[in-house]
Chain A
Amino acid sequence: MLSLAPEKPLTTAPSQPPVAAQQLLIDVQGVRKAFPGVVALDDVSFRLRAGTVHALMGENGAGKSTLMKILAGVYTPDQGVYRLHGREIALTSPLDALENGIAMIHQELNLMPFMSIAENIWIRREPLNRFGLIDHARMYQMTRELFAQLSIELDPQAKVASLSISSRQMVEIARAVSYNSDVLIMDEPTSALTEHEVAHLFRIVRMLREQGKGIIYITHKMNELFEIADEVSVFRDGHFIGCKQVEQLSHDEVIRMMVGREITEMFPKTIVPIGEVALEVSHLTLDGVFHDVSFSLRQGEILGVAGLIGSGRSNVAETLFGVSPASSGQIRINGQPVTIDSPRTAMQHGMAFLTEDRKDTGCFLSLSIQENMQISVLGGDNLQAGFVRQQALDAMCEAMSGTLRVKTPNLDERIENLSGGNQQKVLIGRWLLTNPKILILDEPTRGIDVGAKAEIHKLICKLAGQGVAVIMISSELPEVLGMSDRIMVMHEGRVTGIVDRADATQVSIMTLAAG
Chain B
Amino acid sequence: MAISNTQALGKSPKPGAFRFKLPAEARIFMVLLGVALIFELLGWIFVGQSFIANKERLIVMILQVSVIGIIAVGVTQIIIMGGIDLSSGSVVALTAMVSASLAQTSDFARAVFPTLTDLPVIAPLAAGLLVGLVCGLINGTVIAKTAIPPFIATLGVMVTARGMAKWYTQGEPISMLSDNYAAIGAGINPVIIFLVTALVFHIILSYTRYGKYTYAIGANRAAARVAGINVNRHLILVYTVAGLLSGLAGVVTSARAVSGQAGMGMMYELDAIAAAVIGGTSLNGGLGKITGTVIGTLILGTMTSGFTFLRIDAYYQEIVKGIIIVVAVVADQYRQRNRRS
Q: Report the minimal beta-carbon distance from A69 to chain B, rounded to whole angstroms.
A: 21
Chain B 199-234, CB within 8 Å of chain A: the 1/0 string?
A: 000000001110011011011101111111110000
Decide: B208 and A387 in contact? CB cutoff 8 A. yes
Against A, the Cβ 8 Å flags (1 = close, 0 = not) of B277-288 are 000001000110
Q: Specify which of A343, A365, A387 is in contact with B226 (CB 8 Å cutoff).
A: A343
Decide yes or no: A323 and B225 within 8 Å by CB, A378-B209, A387-B208 being known contacts: yes
Contact B228 A361, beta carbon cutoff 8 Å: no
A416: min CB distance to chain B, Å:
7
Digitize A340-374: 1 where CB-to-B-CB distance is under 8 Å, 0 elsewhere.
00111011000001010000111111110001001
Interface pair A361/B219, CB less than 8 Å apart: no
Bound: A417/B287 CA distance, A = 16
Identify which of B225, B227, B287 contacts A430 (C-beta below 8 A): B227
Q: Are B209 and A364 in contact (CB-based, < 8 A)?
A: no
Pairs A–B under 8 Å by Cβ, sample size 30: A323-B226, A342-B230, A343-B225, A344-B229, A344-B230, A346-B228, A360-B220, A360-B222, A361-B222, A361-B226, A363-B220, A363-B223, A364-B215, A364-B216, A366-B219, A366-B286, A367-B215, A367-B219, A371-B215, A375-B212, A375-B216, A375-B224, A375-B227, A375-B229, A379-B209, A388-B209, A416-B15, A417-B15, A417-B16, A430-B227
Interface residue tally for chain A (C-beta within 8 Å):
32
Give min CB distance, B219 to chain A, whole Å.
4
CB <8 Å contact, B228 and A347: yes
Flag if A367 contacts B226 (CB, 8 Å). Answer: no
A390 within 8 A of B: yes
For residue B11, which residues in chain A have a CB less than 8 angstroms away from its CB? none
Main secondary structure, interface of B, reads helix
| Interface bits A438-465 vs B (CB < 8 Å: 1, else 0) | 0000000000000000000000000000
Nearest Cβ distance between residue B230 and chain A, in whole angstroms?
Answer: 6
Contact of A378 with B212 in the complex, beta carbons under 8 Å: yes
| Interface 0/1 of A412-455, CB less than 8 Å to B | 00101100000000000010000000000000000000000000
Residues of A within 8 A of B15 (CB): 414, 416-417
Question: Does B339 sit within 8 A of A, measured CB to CB?
Answer: yes
B339:A364 contact, CB within 8 angstroms: no
**A383 at the binding interface (Cβ < 8 Å):** yes
B223 touches A362 (CB 8 A): yes
**Smallest Cβ distance from B103 to chain A, in angstroms?**
33
In the assembled complex, the Cα of A258 lies from the Cα of B218 at a distance in Å of 42
Query: What are the 10 A-B residue pairs with the smallest beta carbon separation, nearest first?
Result: A364-B219, A366-B286, A417-B15, A378-B209, A347-B228, A361-B222, A366-B219, A344-B228, A376-B227, A375-B227
Residues on B with beta carbons closer than 8 Å to the beta carbon of A383: 209
Q: Which of A346, A362, A414, A430 has the most CB of B within 10 A?
A: A362
Q: How far is the CA of A363 from the CA of B226 in the complex (A)?
A: 11
A288 within 8 A of B: no
Q: Which residues of B does A touch, CB under 8 Å?
A: 15-16, 207-209, 212-213, 215-216, 218-220, 222-230, 282, 286-287, 339-340
- Cβ of A321 under 8 Å from chain B: yes
Contact of B216 among A360, A371, A379, A416 (CB under 8 A): A371
Q: Which residues of B contact A417 (CB under 8 A)?
A: 15-16
Which DSSP category, helix, strand, loop or mixed, fits chain A's interface? mixed
List chain B residues, Cβ under 8 A from A132: none
Q: Could you say which residues of chain B place their CB within 8 Å of the CB of A17?
A: none
CB distance from A76 to the nearest CB of B (A): 17
Q: Within the complex, what minimum Cβ distance (angstroms) separates B229 from chain A?
A: 7
How far, in Å, is B21 (CB) from chain A's closest CB?
10
Q: Which residues of A contact B (CB under 8 A)?
A: 321, 323, 342-344, 346-347, 353, 355, 360-367, 371, 374-376, 378-379, 383, 386-388, 390, 414, 416-417, 430
Cα(A364)–Cα(B286), bound, Å? 8
Are B212 and A365 touching (Cβ within 8 A)?
A: no
Question: In the complex, which of the residues B208, B228, B230, B286 contacts A376, with contact meaning CB atoms closer than 8 Å?
Answer: B228
Q: Give which listed residue, A321, A323, A388, A430, contacts B212 with CB less than 8 A.
A: A388
Interfacial chain A residues near B223, Cβ < 8 Å: 355, 360-364
B222 proximity list for chain A (CB < 8 A): 360-361
Which chain A positions have C-beta within 8 A of B16?
417
Cα–Cα, bound, A362→B339 (Å): 19
Contact A416 B208 (CB under 8 A): no
Q: Which A residues lie within 8 Å of B208 (CB)?
A: 386-388
Which residue from B225, B228, B286, B339 sits with its C-beta under 8 Å from A367? B286
A343 proximity list for chain B (CB < 8 A): 225-228
Residues of B within 8 A of A430 (CB): 227
- Given A353-B226, A417-B16: A365 and B209 interface contact (C-beta under 8 Å): no
Q: Which residue of chain A has the shortest Cβ distance to B212 in the bound complex? A: A378
The residue of chain B having its C-beta at the shortest distance from the C-beta of A351 within the complex is B228
Tell me whether A390 and B207 are in contact in the complex, defined as CB-CB below 8 angstroms, given that A371-B212, A417-B15 are known contacts: yes
A347 to B207, CA, bound (A): 24
**Residue numbers in B under 8 Å from A362 (CB-CB):** 220, 223, 226
CA distance A175 to B19 in the complex (A): 51
The answer for the CA separation of A416 and B222 in the assembled complex, in Å, is 17
For residue B228, which residues in chain A have a CB less than 8 angstroms away from its CB?
343-344, 346-347, 376
| Given A366-B286, A367-B219, A414-B15; 13 other pairs, CB 8 A cutoff | A343-B227, A344-B229, A360-B222, A361-B222, A361-B226, A363-B223, A364-B286, A365-B219, A366-B215, A371-B215, A375-B216, A375-B224, A417-B15
**Closest Cβ neighbor of A378 among chain B residues:** B209
Q: Which residue of A lies closest to B285 (CB)?
A: A366
A355 and B215 form a contact (CB under 8 A): no
Report A-chain residues with C-beta under 8 Å of the C-beta of B219: 364-367
CA distance A417 to B286 in the complex (A): 16
Chain A residue at minimal CB-CB distance from B213: A378
How far apart are the CA atoms of A383 and B287 in the complex, in Å? Answer: 23
Q: How far is the CB of A341 from chain B (nearest CB, A)?
A: 11
**Separation of A353 and B222 alpha carbons in the complex (Å):** 13
Q: How far is the CA of A411 from the CA of B72 in the complex (A)?
A: 30
Q: Which B residues are CB-close (under 8 A) to A371? A: 212, 215-216
Closest to B211 in A: A388
In the complex, which residues of chain B have a beta carbon less than 8 angstroms from the beta carbon of A360? 220, 222-223
- In the bound complex, residues from chain B placing their C-beta under 8 Å from that of A365 are 219-220, 286
Contact of A416 among B225, B227, B339 (CB under 8 A): B339
